[in-house]
Structure 1
Amino acid sequence: MVATTTLPVSKRQIGGVCLGNAIEFYDFVTYAYFAAQIGRTFFPSDTPGLSLLASLATFGVGFLTRPLGAILLGRFADRAGRKPAMLVSFALMGFASLALPLIPSYAAIGIAAPVLVVLCRLIQGFAVGGEVGAATAFLMEAAPINRRGLYTSLQAMSADISALTAGMIGLILSSVMSDAALDAWGWRIALLLGAAIIPVGLLLRRTLVETLHPTAEAADDVPPGISYRRVAIAGVCLVAAATTTNYLLKYMTTYASSTLGMSTQLAFGATVVVGLCGAICAPLAGALSDRIGRRPVMLTPWILLALAVFPCFELLEHQRSAAALYLACAILATASTFASSVFFVVIAESLPQRVRSGALGLIYALAVSVFGGSAQFLVAWLTQLTGSPMTPAWYMIGGVIVGLVAMFALPETAPVKHARTALPDGTPA
């Protein structure tokens, strides 16, 4: 029987987890949105495109320490509790996120500037690696059994809200500032705005209750007959596919300006579209998966995504307009988010509580470190090498195919589809 939580978890506490998660991802993805400006600040070069590649490589460095954060903080969360692990990860992210925008440029302090940027990215990666497993485990364990999909999808929703917020800030800054001012200090404002909210998130997280209760019942709170090895392998493939698509969508701002030659202001509009679609679709997908099951909510939009990738990028290549960019981003982001927001629910429900945070965090970190961290750099490099603006489409479709195969290897874990598990009062879930 699947265990349920009887803990008095308030909406404010759920909000605290989501806000903290949003702030952590805001600081992480804002770097990607301002990759071109950060590249010119810390990695100046006379060779066209080289500073961007150096900046994207540094973005990828942040993924190297994610597995380490997942192992250390994830194990800490499985032993000491979800709350202390989330407080540690949040504090580390806060320190690095405040320090990065205060680093002087390469012109001011030379090689020390990029070294300090890399150090901040390593700390951020470590923090995010520990955050995902603990936060996802908390949300699932705090949820009523028939609303696990909805609660867990809030993790994806908060990350999408952070992307939306970062995109809107980038759009506003690019509208009121010149390109020179944006390069000089505009991107620093965007990062500092995220750092300014860190005390609020830290205060909210200190009020959290603890959802880790390693009782005999909680230790066996997964559907019977599940192979953990199969879940781990399929989970890595599934998250790899999702993160490849996700970070390529976040790359659309850089792609629109650097490859398609669109203005910075129009390019930042793409991030707003992607973030808005994700913020809306994630909770809808989670709630729907509670009613009809996880598998149909994953499979249907993912198949639609596979069919839409090439038409969307072909539209962009031929039109190169704001309308084409925003339409393509909306279609791809809607299909991707609707499916991927349910991935973590399935993986979390397939793992026992005693190892849930660490295992989930490690699955996520390994997949993201190998595939997510390299996606933007490889696409930018391959685009320069081939000269083809269709390069992101080929890269994305590869990830979509891997994800589609992995979906069939994962079990159906939704209680509504799994033996109609009863609620504590005896009513069916």
Structure 2
Amino acid sequence: MSTQRTPLASRDARSTLQVRAVVSGSIGNLMEQYDNLVYAYSTVYLSAKFFTSGDSLSGILSTFAVFAVGFFARPLGTIVFGHIGDKLGRRPALIASVVLMGSATVLVGLLPGAATIGLAAPVLLVLLRLFQGFAVAGEWAGSAAMLVEYAPPGARGRYGSFNQVSTAAGFLVAAAVVALNSLFWSEQGMLEFGWRIPFLLGVLTTLVALVLRFGLEDTPAYQAEQRAGTTSTSPLKLAFRTQKAAMARGFLFTVSWTVAYFFFLTYLPTHLREQVGLAPGTVQASNLVGLAVLTVAIYLFGGLSDRIGRKPLLLLGSGGLVLLSFPAMLLFETGSTAGAYLGQILIALVIAAFSGPGPAALSEIFPTNVRYSALGIGYNFSVMAFGGTAGFIATALIDVSGNALLVAVLPTAAALITFATVCAMPETYKSELK
């Protein structure tokens, strides 16, 4: 009798820890992505509040430039949090990351505008975006590593997909909160104060994430490294000594992923409103539908990758963006409501095909003792270079060329790079974590 209960109790305990890890990793990541993306969905109001000189296009360019600035803090963030995560554990790094992100978001909501404090307003906005970029660099890599390391055998794709489910849900919640908030204010009211509400809600997102993460044990893979005495005292040095090729692969792997997210999910709503001339309600509703489809489809593709492999879906996702970016932009440029919805749904499905298996595929190429650092370096350096600048480059391209369709060259070129990278990658879905 007793010999049968112990394994059962052990399985129950493991199952409980795995559920807590999924909830903690996913909700915490969702909250940080919400904090990060509220800025992008508030671009029109931020440009009017903090960049008051010049025309509306100049203001939007300036606001997207500040959005991009936050991404330049990611390399430093991934180095600091990667060191903590690989040396001291995933949990303390993730707790520190969410506290810093929430604090910076609330401070943006409290920041006086240019009309009140002049040039100090955009300067302080830049500083707070830098803190946000620093914080979110530690979140994504830590969340991906934790979810994959907690996954039972044969389920790393499904567990890892929650990293992207929660990322997409963070986009969705941010867009929904901004859209819902705008219903309670006039346009003038939004400009004067209403835009601040989604940022001030950052205090709640931080508290929720902290409650979920306190008390969670570190991952079984990391604890095994600790017991074996193989955790590194200098994980960053070890990563650069042993994982340079893998980190370069992770960098190129992420190019299409990050451009697709920050082009289609953050820049596009502003494009549809300012360039195409769609009504704000139509833009917000079609964006919410696309994000909802993306969120559900990511989980389904993540689970499918545990059965058929990572590469077929990664190739479908990156190849699909090569083929569909220009047709999707043509749909958007028609200015029709149906075109907006159809384009958003098509792009959501293609991005989901890549995002579902993406966290597991990226995590599986690095060993546990440097996974947080090495994964974060490849991913965050790519996001810095290509993700945060997508909105700024797209807006500038339209301004220079006068051709709104030309912006589709960004996701197309990025997808070609990632497609070639995936072709050269080994299949890892049946391999053991190193």
Fold shared by both chains (TM-score > 0.5): yes
Report matched runs for 1:96-115 at 5 Å: 96-115=104-123
1:373-403, CA deviations, whole angstroms, 9 ceiling, x for partnerless residues?
A: 1111010111111111112211111111111
Counterpart CA distance in 2 for 1:135 and 1:315 is: 35
| Contact 1:295-1:407 at 8 Å conserved across structures | yes
Counterpart CA distance in 1 for 2:272 and 2:115 is: 28
Cα shift at 1:207: 1.9
Find the partner of 2:325 among 304, 309, 328. Answer: 309
Q: Aligned residue for 1:334?
A: 349
Q: Aligned residue for 1:206?
A: 214
Q: Aligned residue for 2:82?
A: 74
| Contact 1:294-1:413 at 8 Å conserved across structures | yes
Identity %: 33
Report matched runs for 1:196-235 at 5 Å: 196-211=204-219, 212-213=222-223, 214=225, 228-235=243-250
User: Which has the higher mean CA deviation after the structures are superposed, 147-156 or 204-213?
Assistant: 204-213
How many corresponding residue pairs?
406
Give the residue type in structure 1 aligned to 2:310. R
Find the partner of 1:236 among 227, 248, 251. Answer: 251
| Contact 1:270-1:326 at 8 Å conserved across structures | yes
Q: Aligned residue for 2:278?
A: 262
Cα shift at 1:325: 0.9
Given the superposition, is the C-alpha separation of residues 164 and 144 from structure 1 closer, same or farther in structure 2, using an over 3 Å criterion?
same
Counterpart CA distance in 2 for 1:6 and 1:320 is: 52
TM-score, length-scaled by structure 2: 0.89
Cα shift at 1:283: 1.0
* 1:63 alignment partner, SS class: helix
Counterpart CA distance in 2 for 1:327 and 1:178 is: 30
Report matched runs for 1:18-417 at 5 Å: 18-211=26-219, 212-213=222-223, 214=225, 228-250=243-265, 251-317=267-333, 319-415=334-430
Cα shift at 1:7: 8.3
Counterpart CA distance in 2 for 1:6 and 1:411 is: 30
* 1:266 alignment partner, SS class: helix
Give the residue type in structure 2 aligned to 1:247. F
Cα shift at 1:271: 2.7
| Contact 1:24-1:90 at 8 Å conserved across structures | yes
Counterpart CA distance in 2 for 1:260 and 1:376 is: 15
* 1:380 alignment partner, SS class: helix
Q: Aligned residue for 1:14?
A: 22
Counterpart CA distance in 1 for 2:185 and 2:339 is: 25
Gapped regions of structure 1 (runs ≥ 5) = 220-226, 423-429
1:233-266, CA deviations, whole angstroms, 9 ceiling, x for partnerless residues?
A: 2210111111001100121110111111122222
Give the residue type in structure 1 aligned to 2:109. P
1:255-282, CA deviations, whole angstroms, 9 ceiling, x for partnerless residues?
A: 1111111222222223312321221111
* 2:425 alignment partner, SS class: coil
1:350-374, CA deviations, whole angstroms, 9 ceiling, x for partnerless residues?
A: 1000000011111111000010111
Counterpart CA distance in 2 for 1:96 and 1:217 is: 37
1:117-172, CA deviations, whole angstroms, 9 ceiling, x for partnerless residues?
A: 11111111011111112111111111102111111110110011111111222222
Structure with more helix by fraction: 2
Give the residue type in structure 2 aligned to 1:234. R
Q: Aligned residue for 2:9?
A: none
* 1:410 alignment partner, SS class: coil
Cα shift at 1:37: 1.0
Cα shift at 1:231: 2.4
User: Which has the higher mean CA deviation after the structures are superposed, 98-107 or 337-346?
Assistant: 337-346
| Contact 1:70-1:361 at 8 Å conserved across structures | yes
Q: Aligned residue for 2:239?
A: none
CA RMSD of aligned residues (A): 2.0
* 1:38 alignment partner, SS class: helix
TM-score, length-scaled by structure 1: 0.90
1:302-336, CA deviations, whole angstroms, 9 ceiling, x for partnerless residues?
A: 3233222211111222x202221121011012101
Gapped regions of structure 2 (runs ≥ 5) = 1-12, 232-241
* 2:389 alignment partner, SS class: helix
| Contact 1:162-1:275 at 8 Å conserved across structures | no
